[in-house]
Structure 1
Amino acid sequence: MQLNTHKDSAVIEQVADWLVLLQSDDVTELDIKRLNLWLAQNKAHRDAWQQANHFLTNIEHLPCSVNSQTMLTLNQQGRRRVVKLLSALFAIPTTGYLTVQSGLHHSVIADHQTAIGESKTVTLNDGSVIELNTQTKITTTFNQVQRSLNLLAGEIFITTGKKHGELLPPFRVITDHGVIEALGTAFNVKATEQGIEVEVSEHAVLVTTEHAELMVKAGESLKFSRHMLQPKVNKLQLSAMWRKGLFVAASLPLFQLIEELGRYHHRLVNIDNSIRNIQVSGTFDIHDFTGTLALLCESLAIDVVYRTKWWLAIVPKAPHS
């Protein structure tokens, strides 16, 4: 991230203000809500905030020329120095130090990630457990003033932790479309091309976007983007079934089922247009793509034609001669 316009300079000034405020003893619950709204306003805010906090968390990795005390002892008197330091750090070319260290963009290696078909469980310092589904990338920022996770791509299930006797800052999931604040909870978050899908298993989360704020409680789910909120009650809790190696389809078009299962496999699949929207219901093993295709051929009027090991076509079943 290279900031050099007047607008970007204003964002740096705002980041410095937030860092100073959160480091003070006067921070209030209203301040936290204001920060969430600011983060939800646009991606530039979220990127700058995450990158600045990454410096705080990984201060020992910064170049020796950086005075670590400037970042570790933020206060009003030091605000001007903080702005200068942030400006210098953000201005480093994308081929330089920050791009390698920060892990905040899709083009660089995340703090934690999974490959196609892989899952992983990460336990954070506060006891929070993050389960990563296939093709997922996240970065984490944990310090005295912030607990946040940036979902760059993919899907996660979060069980927030709380060390006994410690007053911890709010746990936030930051996405390109808004901010999800955990209210002592367990929940699933999935990034799609259309936006973000959240499903809450325990307690509640607070979702803040540029235009709205909504609490999502246990048994409820929400699809949202920068300009859309689509809440619904979902007592079945189906979205997180990937943790058990399953995907549940309820009257889902065939092409959407194949897209979902395709997230876990290196396969190129072509579907004949005449059968793309056949409705499918059932429970499928996400790791057994070949077995799933065989089951579909038994229950639907379709056939599978293998062009190569990794390339196949789903076509209408040929009539019996």
Structure 2
Amino acid sequence: MSTPRPAMSPVDAQALEWQVVFWSGEVQEHEQQDFQIWLAADPLHEQAWARIQQFGQQMQLAPQEVASQVLQAGLSAQAVQRRRAILRSFLLLVCGGLGSYGVSRTPQWAAWNADYRTASGQRKELTLPDGTALALNTASSLNVQYSETQRSVVLLGGEVLISTASDPQIRHRPFVVQTPEGEVQALGTRFLVRHWPSKARVSVQVYEGAVELRPRHAGQRTRLQAGQQVLFSKQQSYTPEPANEQASAWQRGLLVAERWRLGDFLAEVARYRAGVLRCDPAVAGLMISGVYPLQDTDAILQSVSQALPVQVRMMTPYWVTVSASA
């Protein structure tokens, strides 16, 4: 069982203050320099900043309207300070007052306190007591619930690649993946499950064996065979399509793109790095292909700037915008 996390430390509070600065609408040059000095002063500062970034992603605390305003110049000092005060109050409420206000009961906070989770850019492999192998992708979280009648993995967020093992118990226990949209029961298989919160969908890719999908609010059940993939929501399962073996390339540390829109490609890259990665709508429709090593997302962005007529602007390592070349 998970235990409550301690109250916010002074270092975490400093990191939160810097997050307020970067979300406020205007960042001065001296503030960028001061932030870099603070970040480099102590490894604890880097760890605290990474925690705040990861928490913000899991809580979905980077509203696009704020993100877009950061790039706009000309805000008055009074307006900037007023916006910072509002953001500070909001972030302190969410990050510091979690026990109060019931935030600890939200799905996002449950993910933060999961049995197993990964940070942005991190991947993890583990073996369950019955021999089932799990590989967690970036920014993923899950709980494991084994009982006398069922083996369950509760996917709270992100993506997991599962290779099920035969149940060692004399009494067979089904292996089920529970997601916000419904359940996926394995039928002796290797399969990939990913939650898409922005679409309220779950995607399933079956590489070996078969699975049975059970949307949460629909009576229908869909059987998916090896070599098939499908999206499903709480209400329904959609038409199966051929599986994409490259969707699991992240397990090998790779991102494989085959004629992807740049906007979609950068959204995928953003999963593997802390902070904000924006794509200007003017270049979002450009097409990109290639195989990219995930251990260095800065190198990926440099490759993009060399392959396409775009420029990568880094306000800080944690705030990056890709736009048309000047």
Give the structure-1-normalised TM-score: 0.64
1:111 corresponds, among 106, 115, 121, to 115
In the other structure, the counterpart of 2:311 is 303
The gaps in structure 1 that reach 5 residues or longer are: 1-93
Structure 1 runs of 4+ aligned residues shifted over 6 Å read none
How far apart, CA to CA, are the structure 2 residues paired with 1:146 and 1:232?
27
Counterpart of 2:253, as a letter, is: G
**CA offsets 1:120-143 (integer angstroms, 9 cap, x no match):** 112111111111111111111112
Does residue 142 of the first structure (1) align with residue 146 of the second (2)? yes
**CA offsets 1:156-213 (integer angstroms, 9 cap, x no match):** 0111111457342110001111110000001000011211011011010000113221
In the other structure, the counterpart of 1:175 is 179
CA pair 231-246 structure 1, distance change in 2 beyond 3 A = farther
Counterpart of 1:154, as a letter, is: G
> Does the aligned pair in 1 maintain the 2:224–2:240 contact within 8 Å?
no
> Does the aligned pair in 1 maintain the 2:206–2:243 contact within 8 Å?
no
1:39-50 pair list within 5 angstroms? none
How far apart, CA to CA, are the structure 2 residues paired with 1:186 and 1:104?
30
In the other structure, the counterpart of 2:205 is 199
Larger radius of gyration: 1
SS at the partner of 2:156?
strand
In the other structure, the counterpart of 1:248 is 256
**CA offsets 1:270-319 (integer angstroms, 9 cap, x no match):** 3222111212222222222111112111221111122222222212123x
1:221 corresponds, among 229, 249, 252, to 229
Give the structure-2-normalised TM-score: 0.63
Does residue 161 of the first structure (1) align with residue 161 of the second (2)? no
Counterpart of 1:229, as a letter, is: S
- Of all paired residues, the percent bearing the same amino acid is 28
CA pair 159-122 structure 1, distance change in 2 beyond 3 A = same
> Does the aligned pair in 2 maintain the 1:178–1:207 contact within 8 Å?
yes
SS at the partner of 1:274?
coil
Counterpart of 1:199, as a letter, is: Q
SS at the partner of 2:139?
coil
> Does the aligned pair in 2 maintain the 1:134–1:155 contact within 8 Å?
yes
Does residue 291 of the first structure (1) align with residue 299 of the second (2)? yes
CA pair 187-122 structure 1, distance change in 2 beyond 3 A = same
Q: What is the aligned-residue RMSD (CA, Å)?
A: 2.3
How far apart, CA to CA, are the structure 1 residues paired with 2:278 and 2:132?
40
